[in-house]
C-alpha cells in the first residue's frame, strides 16, 4: 500500500493529456538483460532528445543510464530485494546537470505490525545538488475498504517541514471510490469520487476548496476502454475541455495518442494539440 494510491482513481481519469509532439522508441537487444529506448520531443520550438539503456543485473536489480541532447547523463541503480519487502533506488546526475543525487527507499508489509492491514512507507533523501538535505517521506495503510496516509518534506537547510499532505480513501460497495486529500499545509481540501460505470467506463468528479480564501472549483473526468483503443475526457468549471484518444496502430508494436484541449468559454483561443507515437 502506498500513499500515492490515495486519489489515484481520479488521477487515472484526469491525467495523461500531453500537448507536445513526441515519438518514443524502445527495444530489447539480442542480449536478454539489455533493453534500450529513445525519446524525441518537439516542445516550445525546441527538439529535446533522450536515449536510455537498461541492464538487468539480476532477477531483482537493474542499472539504467540516460543521456540527453544537452549532454546530461543520469544513472539509476535499482535493487528490489535489499531486504525482505525493501526496495532501494539510487539516482545520480553524472554530467551536464547540477550533480543531483538522491536515494529512495520503499518498504511494504503484507501484514503491518501492531495495527494489521497492509502498510507501505517510502523515503527519498537528497544527497547532493538542488535536493541536498531534503527528505521526503510517506506512509500508507490499508485495512479492508479504508485507506489512510500522509506525506511530508523536511528541508534540513531551513530546519522545518516545508510540505505535508494527509489523505483518506474508501472503496464503496457500489464500485465507487471516494477520496479526500488535505494539501498545501492543510490550506486546501481536495475531494473526489470515481464511479465504475461498467467494465470499460469510469466517471469521476473532483472538488477543490481553499480553506484560506473559501474559493471552490469543480472538474469532471471520464475514461473509456475499447478494443485496441482508449479515450479520456476532462472538463473544468472554467470551460477547459481536454480530450485524449489512444489506439494501437500495430498490436504490441506501435501506439498512437492524440490530445486536444479547447477553451469552451473563449472560442477564439487557439486549441492545444499533441501527437505521440510509441514504437516497440
The pLDDT assigned to 117 comes to 87
- What distance in Å separates the CA atoms of residue 275 and residue 17, rounded to the nearest whole number? 10
pLDDT tens by residue, 189-229? 999 999 999 999 999 999 999 999 999 999 999 999 998 99
Percent of the chain with pLDDT over 70: 98
**pLDDT band for position 175 (50/70/90)?**
confident
Query: Residue 226, CB half-sphere, CA atoms under 13 Å: how many?
Result: 9
pLDDT (mean) for 238-262 = 94
The answer to whether the CB of 254 falls within 8 A of the CB of 280 is: yes
249, pLDDT greater than 80: yes
The pLDDT assigned to 30 comes to 58
Phi, psi at 184, each rounded to 5°? 55, 50
Distance of CA 140 to the CA centre of its chain: 16
Phi, psi at 9, each rounded to 5°? -60, -40
pLDDT tens by residue, 29-83? 656 677 888 888 887 667 789 999 999 888 889 999 999 988 899 999 999 988 8
**Mean pLDDT estimate for the chain:** 91
The pLDDT assigned to 250 comes to 83
The pLDDT assigned to 45 comes to 67
DSSP string, the chain: --GGGTTHHHHHHH-----SEEEEEEEE-SSTTEEEEEEEEEBTTB--EEEEEEEEEETTEEEEEEEETT--EEEEEEEEEEETTEEEEEEEEEESS---EEEEEEEEESS-TTT-SEEEEEEEEEEEGGGTTEEEEEEEEEETTEEEEEEEEEETTTTEEEEEEEEEEEE-TTS-EEEEEEETTTTEEEEEEEEE-SSSEEEEEEEEEETTT--EEEEEEEEEEETTEEEEEEEETT-EEEEEEEEEEETTTEEEEEEEEEETT-TTSPPEEEEEEEE-
The answer to whether the CB of 81 falls within 8 A of the CB of 89 is: no
Q: What is the pTM of this model?
A: 0.86
**pLDDT band for position 236 (50/70/90)?**
very high
The answer to whether the CB of 39 falls within 8 A of the CB of 50 is: yes
Query: Residue 141, CB half-sphere, CA atoms under 13 Å: how many?
Result: 12
Phi, psi at 31, each rounded to 5°? -85, 110
The pLDDT assigned to 131 comes to 81
What's the CATH superfamily of 3-279? Porin (2.40.160.10)
Amino acid at each position: 500500500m502506498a500513499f500515492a494510491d490515495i486519489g489515484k482513481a481520479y488521477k487515472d481519469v484526469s491525467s495523461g493529456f500531453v500537448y507536445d509532439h513526441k515519438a518514443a522508441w524502445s527495444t530489447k537487444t539480442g542480449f536478454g538483460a539489455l533493453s534500450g529506448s529513445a525519446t524525441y520531443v518537439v516542445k516550445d520550438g525546441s527538439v529535446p532528445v533522450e536515449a536510455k539503456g537498461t541492464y538487468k543485473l539480476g532477477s531483482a536489480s537493474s542499472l539504467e543510464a540516460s543521456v540527453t541532447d544537452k549532454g546530461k547523463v543520469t544513472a539509476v541503480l535499482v535493487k528490489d530485494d535489499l531486504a525482505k519487502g525493501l526496495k532501494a533506488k539510487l539516482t545520480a546526475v553524472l554530467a551536464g546537470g547540477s550533480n543531483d543525487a538522491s536515494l529512495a527507499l520503499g518498504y511494504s508489509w503484507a501484514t503491518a505490525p501492531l495495527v494489521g492491514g497492509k502498510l507501505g512507507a517510502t523515503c527519498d533523501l537528497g544527497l547532493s545538488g538542488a535536493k541536498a538535505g531534503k527528505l521526503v517521506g510517506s506512509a500508507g495503510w490499508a485495512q479492508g475498504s479504508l485507506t489512510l496516509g500522509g506525506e511530508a518534506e523536511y528541508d534540513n537547510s531551513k530546519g522545518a517541514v516545508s510540505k505535508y499532505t494527509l489523505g483518506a480513501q474508501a472503496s464503496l460497495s457500489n464500485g465507487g471510490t471516494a477520496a479526500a486529500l488535505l494539501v498545501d499545509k492543510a490550506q486546501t481540501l481536495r475531494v473526489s469520487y470515481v464511479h465504475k460505470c461498467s467494465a470499460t467506463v469510469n466517471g469521476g468528479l473532483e472538488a477543490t476548496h481553499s480553506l484560506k480564501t473559501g474559493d471552490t472549483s469543480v472538474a469532471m473526468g471520464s475514461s473509456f476502454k475499447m478494443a485496441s483503443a482508449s479515450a479520456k475526457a476532462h472538463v473544468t468549471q472554467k470551460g477547459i475541455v481536454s480530450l485524449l484518444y489512444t489506439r494501437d496502430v500495430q498490436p504490441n508494436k506501435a501506439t498512437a495518442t492524440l490530445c486536444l484541449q479547447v477553451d469552451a468559454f473563449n472560442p477564439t483561443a487557439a486549441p492545444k494539440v499533441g501527437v505521440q507515437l510509441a514504437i516497440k
